[in-house]
Amino acid sequence: EAGVTQFPSHSVIEKGQTVTLRCDPISGHDNLYWYRRVMGKEIKFLLHFVKESKQDESGMPNNRFLAERTGGTYSTLKVQPAELEDSGVYFCASSQKGAGSTEAFFGQGTRLTVV
């Protein structure tokens, strides 16, 4: 069974450019989460989808970040325009139920560097 897959694995962009990260969850997992780890700090929650609906987006830093999950399958996270402080590793996770009741499976992350 394929795990959570994230594309790209690395991305280097200039400040002001746009970047789109993609996450393919495990097939059949309704819950999809985005997290971010800024260097040396904790991994922080960004948002949570249940199927195609945003269940909780309280962790989104600002309106430069837009997440979508059309059709309730894969998800994209767009940063537009990117700023230097957006650099970090973006993780996606999926689970069958809420992450607290069952384990969440994480992808390998996308390392975003804004220069």
Binding site for another protein (CB under 8 A): 3-4, 9, 31, 33, 35, 40-45, 48, 55-56, 59, 89, 91, 93, 95, 98-109, 111
Rounded to the nearest whole angstrom, what is the least distance from the CB of residue 30 to another protein in the complex? Answer: 11
Residue 114's alpha-carbon distances to 34, 36, 75, 82, 102, in angstroms, are 19, 14, 21, 7, 34
Q: Of 79 and 94, which CB lies nearer to another protein in the complex structure?
A: 94
Q: Of 77 and 104, which CB lies nearer to another protein in the complex structure?
A: 104
Rounded to the nearest whole angstrom, what is the least distance from the CB of residue 79 to another protein in the complex? Answer: 19
Q: Of 15 and 97, which CB lies nearer to another protein in the complex structure?
A: 97
Beta strands in 1-115 (DSSP E): 5-7, 10-13, 19-24, 31-37, 43-50, 53-56, 65-68, 75-79, 88-95, 105-106, 110-114
Rounded to the nearest whole angstrom, what is the least distance from the CB of residue 62 to another protein in the complex? Answer: 18
